[in-house]
Each structure stands twice: as structure tokens, then as C-alpha cells.
Amino acid sequence: MKQAPRKYANYIPIRELHSKERQLFPFQVYAELRENTPVRYDEHRECWDVFRYEDVQYVLKNPKLFSSERNRTSSSMLTTDPPKHKQLRDLVNQAFTPKAIEALAPRIQQITDELLAPHLSNGKINLIDDLATPLPVIVIAELIGVPATDRREFKHWSDVLVKGARDDSEEAFQELVQEKQRNMQELYTYFAAILEQRRAEPQEDLISLLLAAEIEGQQLTTEEVINFCILLLAAGNETTTNLIANAVRILSEQPELQLELREHPDRVASAVEETLRYYPPIVAIGRVARETVELNGQTIQAGDQVISWVGAANRDAAQFEHADKFVTDRKPNRHMGFGFGIHFCLGAPLARLEARVVLHTLLQRIEHIQLVSETELEPIQSAFVFGVKEYPVQFNA
Ligand code: HEM
């Protein structure tokens, strides 16, 4: 298999999305690409882009043709193929069940209330820094079993895991690679020590459960448990932050939705799903072709990178009626915001729960949520992530 091109790792956005305005609102560009070049090769980034729902779904549901083993530096379930993938996923599934996640609801509510409380009397909150960022980090730290005193370091490690290069230069790329390597070493050392403690003295946390998990005599190795904990930080924190922030962004851009959801709180869960379709935190998912394959009239060669644009597929009128409209109670809603197929997001129940709790709480406690006027939105610099860096809102308490 060909080595992954450096450019892919460096998160260069597709050329049509280089401007800030387009990154803040890429959906018109997606519509043009879906229409004009549904499957195309990008010489600059050295990869294929796939934009239509049907084609994206085809890529994601065929791991035999499109491999996830694109990044061999750390092996976790996200970057493994069957049969190894199933073995890893089944083992962690024992600890990460929807029932176990649902039991976290009261604690998530408590953390949300605590984070929101100091801001209620000000009528203002920096939604991302004060609520949407700390909430998932605290929840995942508690779930894994990280001592509260280590939270700050934990947050830093988590940030570096998903950090992109500051620009396109080789220098910035090398700097980032080194920072990430250091970060990985620190994480390994940190988790190795916790694992040792939990082996000696199991507790009621995810690490202890993972160490005990067993299927047909198979257990996870120390390295696999550590890789999984690191994966949870990398896959779960920034994504959930952006889901919450993107949902609130929609509510302030379309304020009539605030009234509708306050009147119909039973639609909050489906509004969270619709956010994952309409403003998905992850807009693109990478694979590598295992063999030469035809897709929508194009020939993809074995070893080629293939980027599936779920952000574009989620607005495909061939799949969704009124695709550009936010419909709070859309049914069915087969969005691919959590991916599709065997790698479908393991953390989906947790992300959904956190977003639901936050939206319910905001709608109950405050009114007229709007972006603080004259705020200039800054898109997150990543080709795969859709979100903004800051989202200060004002409201009536
Ligand atoms: C996989 C999105 C939250 C853990 C994925 C995938 C997507 C995704 C698109 C599929 C990647 C692929 O096919 O290559 C999201 C979004 C989230 C979110 C949008 C928040 C709104 C979380 C959380 C956790 C988590 C909270 C854990 C605490 C995982 C894991 C995988 C995964 C472990 C790999 C599953 C596998 O390979 O079988 N996620 N995720 N995610 N996600 Fe999430």
C-alpha cells in the first residue's frame, strides 16, 4: 500500500474552501461539487473526493474495498480493518454500552448546571470556552477514571491530539509532528501508570472494566487499552464541543427554532440529530482504496486516498427532502454525521446525551439566545472539522 501523502496528514482544505467565508458556510460549495464533480481527483492534495450521499455510503459500507488503516502510528479501532476491528470493538462495547452511558445523565446535568450558573446573571457566556469545551472533557475524564487533579494536563493532551498545523509550510508541519510525538509519549506514560494502579486495585471506571473485558478468552493488551483511552480523547472531545456549539449557532441564526423547541421540548433529541446532518462537526472521513475500484464513472486505483464528504452527502436532495432546511423533527433522518457502517461512532450515545442535556438546559433557563453582536466568527482550521473557535452569546435569563 502507498504511503499516505504528507498533504493529507497536514489537513489542507479543498481549494474551493480556502476562504474564511466559505469555511464558515461551506454548503453552497458542497452543492456545486455534488452536482458538477461528484467523484473527483484533487492533484493538489493527492486524493479523491466523494460528495454524493449514495457514493459516500458506498465507500463507508465497504471496508473490503476502502481501508481505514491509513495511519499506522497508533493502532486503535478507528484505524483498523476487519477482523481485528471487530475484536477490538466487541471488547470495548462491553464497557461502553448505551445503558452505561444513559446512567451518566444526572451527572452530565449537574456539570452543565455548574458550568452555566456563574454566567446566568451576566446575560452572556462564551459558549465554547465556558461550556461546550469543559463539559465533554470532564465527562470523559470521569468516565475513564482520571483523577480530578489531572484534568488540566488531560485537557492539554486532548487539544494537542486534534491540533492542526498553523499553516501549510513544511516547518509548521514538522513542528506539529514533534509536538504530537511528545504528547503521545506523555499520554502513554500517564495512562500506563493509571493502568498499573487499576490492575492492582480495580475501581468502578472504564479502565478497570476494559482491563477485565474478555471475549472467548481474549483480553485487551495494555497497549490496546491505552490506545483506546487516547482514541476517546481524540475522537470524543472536540467533536462534542462542536456539536454543542453548532447546535447553538443554528438556534441563534434561526431564532424561531428556539421558540419551536421551547414549545415542543420532545423535539430536542431529533433537533440534535438534525444538527448532525445540517452542521456536522465532522464533514469528511478518510479511507484508502485497497484495490482498483469504479465509483460513479471514475477509476480509483489501489492505494489512493479517498475522502468521503459526509457534510456534502448530508445535504443531498436525492436523500433528504428540503435538504437545506433545518427540520427539528425530521423523520427519517439517515444523516452520516456519526459516519456509517462498521466504524459508526462508538461515542454517539454519549455525544447525543451531552448535546440533549445542554440544549434542554439552555432552552429552559434562558431566552433570546443570540451571538454577541459584531462578533467575527473564525472557522476551525481543519479540513475535516466544521466549527468555530469562539461563540460568545448573549441572552435573557
Ligand atoms: C468514530 C463522529 C463523539 C468515539 C466516529 C466516526 C465519526 C464520528 C464520523 C467514524 C469515523 C470513520 O468512519 O472513520 C463523531 C461526532 C461526535 C463524536 C460528530 C460528536 C458529536 C464521540 C465521542 C466518543 C467517540 C463522545 C467517545 C467518548 C468514537 C470512536 C470511534 C468513533 C471510538 C471509532 C469507532 C470504530 O472505529 O469502530 N465518530 N464522534 N466519538 N467515535 Fe465518534
Q: What is the DSSP string of 170-220?
A: HHHHHHHHHHHHHHHHHHHHHHHHHHHHHHHS--SSHHHHHHH-EETTEE-
Amino acid type, 396: N
CATH number at residue 130: 1.10.630.10
CA atoms within 13 A on the CB side of 168: 10
CB 373 within 8 A of CB 93: no
Query: What is the SS3 assignment for 307?
Result: strand
Q: What is the dihedral of CA 59, 61, 66, 70, to 10 degrees?
A: 100
Q: 241 CB less than 6 Å from ligand 1?
A: no
Residue nearest to atom 30 of ligand 1 (CA): 346
**pLDDT tens readout for residues 183-241:** 999 999 999 999 999 999 999 899 999 999 988 888 899 999 999 999 999 899 999 99
pLDDT tens, position by position, 257-303: 999 999 999 999 999 999 999 999 999 999 999 999 999 999 999 99
Ligand 1 contact via 346 beta carbon (within 6 Å): yes
Residue 127, class by beta-carbon neighbours within 10 Å (0-12 exposed, 13-18 middle, 19+ buried)?
buried
Q: Is the peptide bond before 332 cis (omega within 30 degrees of 0)?
A: yes
Q: Is the beta carbon of 387 within 6 A of some atom in ligand 1?
A: no
Q: Does the pLDDT at position 25 exceed 60?
A: yes
Work out the pLDDT band at 319, boundaries 50, 70, 90.
very high
Q: Is the pLDDT of residue 6 over 50?
A: no
Asked whether residue 1 is assigned to any structural domain, the reply reads no
Tens-place pLDDT, residues 159-184: 898 887 777 788 888 999 999 999 99
List of residues 6+ apart from 368 with CB closer than 8 A: 255, 258, 395, 396
- Number of residues assigned to the chain: 397
Q: Is the residue at 176 inside a domain?
A: yes
E strand or H helix that includes residue 133: none
The C-alpha cell at 51 is 460528495
Q: What is the CA radius of gyration of the chain?
A: 21
Domain with 225 in it: 6-396
Hey, whose CA ends up nearest to atom 12 of ligand 1? 343
CB 119 within 8 A of CB 158: no
Q: Counting beta carbons within 10 angstroms of the beta carbon of residue 24, is it exposed (0 to 12), middle (13 to 18) or buried (19 or more)?
A: middle
pLDDT of residue 73: 54
What band does 151 get if pLDDT is binned at 50, 70 and 90? confident
Number of domains in the chain: 1
Kindly state if the Cβ of 337 falls inside 6 Å of ligand 1: yes
The yes-or-no verdict on residue 7 having pLDDT over 50 is no
Residue 281 Cβ inside 6 Å of ligand 1? The answer reads: yes
Joined grid coordinates for residue 271: 433537533
Ligand 1 touching residue 89 (CB < 6 A): yes
Cα 231 to ligand 1 centroid, rounded to whole Å: 9
> In the prediction, which pLDDT does 36 show?
97
Counting atoms of ligand 1 from 1, which one is nearest the CA of 76?
37
Q: Judge whether 199 and 219 are in contact, CB under 8 Å.
A: no
338 in any annotated domain: yes
